[in-house]
Structure 1
């Protein structure tokens, strides 16, 4: 069943844009060792790009705010976003290289990653026009792959204009997140490891309760175990609701969390209750993990609607 009525939800994404350079090897090299790889791919990535493409393919009207370099990667990243229907007018081009992620993936699935921020490191605040793009959105998606000063500036703009702010706290910094940033967040979406790192609690319910002392609402993603939503009602009582994942045979879990967040922003923007929005986002993530790659694996709305309507068809 579709919930689209009238205009599509509007989403602004203030986030990173990287080219993922992925080498597939039998075993990763040790220090000083050279090994042969059996495959290499370049895939548009970065948590900002991933969430923007996921939201656009899920049916949102999406504007990307960030930066690429003046290199070939920058042109390719901009084109990949535009091809998925993302408005790239807020994607500035800066002197020097674009951000890159250098990823080595072993046959068993383990990986190691070196991220070079490149142009992402220049996004220390808002550029002319960025505040207007944020103000025009119903939801702002944030992550922590850009300088914190820029993330804070975007969150302040969202609050000033009544825009709902959703933060994916990744990568979790070594120092506590600023209280000012958390006060500007409406919904926090960590995975279970990020929730533990932020709170020191390894019990899921205890972590959710601790996070609710920092933000009004939390969704913790749990991979194949689904997701859990926690919020306080008007009387201050906490309700925690679990939503299962769609069982599938995963091929590549890269960017499954970003797919979930992008789809969740669209579903919630359409007015769906949070548990239903989470179930719809789970269908999107289930489709993504059955395909290799990050942004290249993300599903379109018709696919999500079809799987959400008949989740038993995901198991073949």
Structure 2
């Protein structure tokens, strides 16, 4: 039952800066903070806060960062039975280094460390949990063989398989027959289209339709404050408008969207309605600082859906 997230842990060491530094330049930043993060962990937090029973499968280091992750999972009610630790002296917990700019946008360097040691044995240990879940959610901050094996187990059991392809990398062709819902952002979709020989330029609607038709998979493209684009394999297109908010920090917004979406799907909510909820959750998350800790509660999202966001003054 519920959502199982197979994915990554990245401890975020985050800085704020006025702009991206030039090559060779030392630039004075304006703030520093640290927080638990990583696409898998962020999505698990978003799912749990959106009301779904949530389990995490991943790998941590035996270090203070790993201990902090375990403490937060306990506090968030995330089941961590299949979160394993690297043997002492091997890779430590993954680390992310986001730089956040004044407009709320960001760029990130990740050092995967323990995440890279996730493999098929760890997935096999969690097979029963994957089989019993309503939704399996995965990203690409762990090795392909782990992602593929989890998808195989989930697909065979009838678990809805959702793939958030971040960060972009080539995938084994056989994975597409196992995925029910594909949730790239615009840049990731363009990269996948280029890798498949579909081109990467032109209107995103056309690329999404070509991708969905070629691979026979439903696609939801996240477009930031422009909203969402949903494309069915047969080519039907649905646009969902974004919410105009004052962005403080966009780190983790896509993760909030994915986790909230899967929580809704696990509770039997229709995809169109689930997209509206997840769209609002992601917009609300960018009004708060942090990555894994910025996901809103289900009550906060429901309030926004009823009452709307506060007006944002024009510049």
TM-score (norm 2): 0.90
Matches within 5 A, 1:22-101: 22-95=14-87, 96-101=91-96
Gaps of 5+ in 1: 1-8
Q: In terms of mean alpha carbon deviation, does 91-100 or 127-136 score higher? A: 127-136
> Which of 254, 258, 264 pairs up with 1:257?
254
Contact 1:126 / 1:153 at 8 angstroms: preserved in 2?
Answer: no
Q: Which residue of 2 aligns with 1:208?
A: 208
| Alignment of 1:246 onto 2:243 | yes
Q: Which residue of 1 aligns with 2:179?
A: 185
- Specify the SS of the correspondent of 1:65: strand
Contact 2:151 / 2:178 at 8 angstroms: preserved in 1?
Answer: yes
1:165-218 residue CA offsets vs partner (Å, 9 max, x unmatched): 000111111xx3221111111100011111111113431221111221214211
Q: Which residue of 2 aligns with 1:5?
A: none
Cα RMSD, aligned residues only: 1.8
| Deviation at residue 227 of structure 1 after TM alignment | 0.5
| Deviation at residue 310 of structure 1 after TM alignment | 2.2
- Specify the SS of the correspondent of 1:296: coil
1:44-87 residue CA offsets vs partner (Å, 9 max, x unmatched): 11100010000000001000000000000001112222211111
> How many residues align structurally?
301
Q: In terms of mean alpha carbon deviation, does 268-277 or 299-308 score higher? A: 268-277
Gaps of 5+ in 2: 194-198
Q: Which residue of 2 aligns with 1:130?
A: 126
1:17-63 residue CA offsets vs partner (Å, 9 max, x unmatched): 01011122345554554444332111111100010000000001000
| Alignment of 1:288 onto 2:285 | yes
In the alignment, the residues of structure 2 paired with residue 295 and residue 185 of structure 1 have an alpha-carbon distance, to the nearest angstrom, of: 25
Q: Which residue of 2 aligns with 1:158?
A: 154
Q: Which residue of 1 aligns with 2:196?
A: none
- Specify the SS of the correspondent of 2:40: helix
Q: Which residue of 2 aligns with 1:278?
A: 275
TM-score (norm 1): 0.90
| Alignment of 1:116 onto 2:108 | no
> Which of 298, 302, 307 pairs up with 1:301?
298
- Specify the SS of the correspondent of 1:295: coil
Q: Which residue of 2 aligns with 1:4?
A: none
| Deviation at residue 151 of structure 1 after TM alignment | 0.6
- Specify the SS of the correspondent of 1:238: coil
| Deviation at residue 101 of structure 1 after TM alignment | 0.9
> Which of 265, 270, 273 pairs up with 1:268?
265
In the alignment, the residues of structure 2 paired with residue 191 and residue 133 of structure 1 have an alpha-carbon distance, to the nearest angstrom, of: 28
| Deviation at residue 108 of structure 1 after TM alignment | 5.3
